[in-house]
Amino acid sequence: MFKIIGSLNYLFVVFLNAFTDLGHKIIIQNTVFKVYDGSTQIVLTAIVNALILFPFILVFSPSGFLADRFPKNKIMEYAALFAVFITLGITYAYYHGHFFLAFSLTFVLALQSAIYGPAKYGYIKELFWEKYISAANGAVQAVTTVSILGGIIFYTVLFEGMYSSDLINEDAILEAIAPIGWLLVGSSVIEWFLASKLPNKMQALSQKRFRMRKYLSGFYLVKNLKTVTRKKEIFEAIIALGLFWSISQVVLAIFGEYAKSELGITNTIYVQGAMALAGIGIVIGSIAAAKLSKYYINLGLSVIGAVGITLLVFLIPFIDSFGLIAMTFTFFGLLSGFILVPLNANIQHLASKIHLGTIIAANNFIQNIFMFSFLVLTTIFAFFGMNAELLFYLMGVVGIYLSVILFKRYYVDAFWSLMGLLGALRHKYIYHGLENISDDKAVLLLGNHVSWLDWIMLQLPLRRRINYMMDKEIYHWPIFHAFFKKGEAIPLSPRAFKDAFSEAHKRLLSGRIVGIFPEGEISKTGELGVFKKGYELIEKDYDGVIVPFYINSGIFGSSFSKYKPKNAKLNLFKRRVVHIYFGEPIAKETSSDTLREIIENMREKYETKQA
């Protein structure tokens, strides 16, 4: 991915854009933190955040139009140039102690970002293609978070170094820290230079025209929202992201007051540092989400992330140790990466190229409507005396709702994501021949059976779901039966085996993948057993093929395997490496004896190769 021309340049631009925006916000927030306490502090912090959010609501239609009408690299270049002039104005406000002016320019700097945003994120799909869309989103999220994390620490340390306790008001504080403004200017200049070097990936200019009258009348707003709601999955993902960012914004807005009143912390380095740890978590979570989306967009991670952050938000009011708070914020960030990467990648994947900018702008618009509304409510609640602890509980309730809407759509994906995460703790699965699995035709998967985890190992790299044939007694196990039924497994028994193979035939006729272990049981010797002929009863009139598979001996000796090799050493700290091979498609008429011979040949070839 990083060999693509312009990829590193683009990531540096993303880094500097967030670093500059965050730097000024931190200066203003820290100034408010030093001067005000209690509900006033919460209200002013919420207003700062609202000033950053409101421009994304205001320029929804224009920013989407620009991203669809003109080359996205040029929009980033001119927006970065605009930031140079804004940061010069901010630096002027610092040196002359004009707090109100600096406070107001927060809005102008956010306006630049709002125009910039759809082009910046829409450029991902153009530059990295569908092939790397999950990995690119993971990289962008990680780089953005590192930038935010670095900005929080960097600007807070500078602020504390220049701050003196005898500074009694906002204007005096700004004058004392004024040289920081030149760092904002310098970052903007470098960002502008790098943005000017980005390649143009727009294949043809759009002929769209922007009519101010339609914008002011709300015509574009209604039209663009209809474009977004046309695909229900895109709209639901945007709503989910809006709820997530709302929870995050409120938690960050109230944590300063909570740290001061409940934990007795007054140093901004500790306060901002704890929240910055969420950034470290997001980096880890984004990289992990990208890695777990190696084969397809792993949307089940979003469910795991939503449930996790909900539990953490409820937990925070019960923690009175700063160390545990710091750890909690780190895990909050990690789980946030599980939400952000797959949902953003899926929005970009499902959006058509002609409407990509509009949909990303709508994503920003709706998310910021949510965040703005939540911050207004936070301000109102704080004004009437509601403390931070109660606000944490309210955000926990919102988290429950977020978890429910994601679970309803992605509960199957969530199950497989959880299986993948649990499997990764002890095993490393390496897949070969995935290109032999058709994206649309029926596939009858047939191969060896070495452990209780085979069905998981085979499914993890495939976006299409495997309909497994399994023993009827196991199919009806208490508790597990509901999962097997939801997974559309096919129960098999000696008395009704014809019905089972008839059902398998129906699934294949509808273009699905059916998985069968012809040995009928897990190997107890490490050798291939006799292949039963049952699958030969399936009628051959479906449009598809047989794909043989072979799972190597890496799992032998584990608690999930029945075969325990002699002299096998147990190592609790070493992950087992298991290779799974998908062979070239073979004819539907292939007999069980021929199939066994093919898989035996695969075994000899690949076991020798691995040895």
Together in a domain, 448 and 543: yes
The reply to whether 1 falls in a domain is no
The reply to whether 377 falls in a domain is yes
pLDDT on residue 109: 87
Residue 213 has a CB neighbour count (10 Å cut-off) of 7
- Report the percent of the chain where pLDDT is more than 70: 94
CA distance 76 to 55: 17
The reply to whether 460 falls in a domain is yes
Q: What is the CATH number of the domain that holds 464?
A: 3.40.1130.10
pLDDT on residue 477: 86
**% helix, strand, coil for the chain, step of 5:** 70, 5, 25
Together in a domain, 438 and 416: no
pLDDT digits (tens, 9 = 90+) for 496-533: 778 889 999 999 999 999 999 999 889 998 889 999 99
Together in a domain, 470 and 404: no
Query: What are the C-alpha distances in Å from 133 to residues 12, 76, 287, 346?
Result: 18, 20, 13, 9
The reply to whether 26 falls in a domain is yes
Together in a domain, 138 and 250: yes
What number is the average pLDDT over the span 463-477?
A: 88
The amino acid that residue 549 corresponds to is: F
Domain-ending residue, one of 425, 455, 488: 425
The tokens of 532 are what? 């039963």
The reply to whether 325 falls in a domain is yes
CA distance 129 to 502: 41
The reply to whether 206 falls in a domain is no
pLDDT band, residue 569 (cuts 50/70/90): low
Together in a domain, 342 and 257: yes
What number is the average pLDDT over the span 34-60?
A: 74
pLDDT digits (tens, 9 = 90+) for 168-202: 788 888 888 889 999 999 999 999 999 898 888 76
Give the pairing type, strands 466-471 and 513-516. Answer: parallel
The reply to whether 63 falls in a domain is yes
Together in a domain, 311 and 411: yes
Give the pairing type, strands 427-432 and 513-516. Answer: unpaired
Q: What is the CATH number of the domain that holds 285?
A: 1.20.1250.20
Helix axes 99-128, 356-383, angle to 10 degrees: 150
Together in a domain, 169 and 56: yes
Count of domains in the chain?
Answer: 2
Domain-ending residue, one of 377, 403, 425: 425
∠ Cα 565 566 572 (to 5°):
70
Q: Could you tell me the residue range of the domain that residue 488 belongs to? A: 433-610
Together in a domain, 337 and 486: no
pLDDT on residue 206: 58
Domain-ending residue, one of 425, 454, 476: 425
Q: Is 441 helix (H, G, I), strand (E, B) or coil?
A: coil
The tokens of 89 are what? 């104005």
Together in a domain, 440 and 420: no
Q: What H or E segment, with its residue span, contains residue 607?
A: helix 592-610
Residue 577 backbone dihedrals phi, psi, to 5 degrees? -105, 120
Together in a domain, 396 and 461: no
The reply to whether 346 falls in a domain is yes
Give the pairing type, strands 544-551 and 576-582. Answer: antiparallel
pLDDT band, residue 57 (cuts 50/70/90): confident
Together in a domain, 381 and 492: no
For 308-356, give the DSSP string. Answer: HHHHHHHHGGG---HHHHHHHHHHHHHHHHHHHHHHHHHHHHHS-GGGH
Together in a domain, 233 and 184: yes
pLDDT digits (tens, 9 = 90+) for 199-212: 887 666 555 666 77
pLDDT digits (tens, 9 = 90+) for 343-396: 988 888 888 777 777 787 777 778 778 877 887 777 777 767 667 778 888 899
pLDDT digits (tens, 9 = 90+) for 300-326: 999 999 999 999 999 988 887 878 888
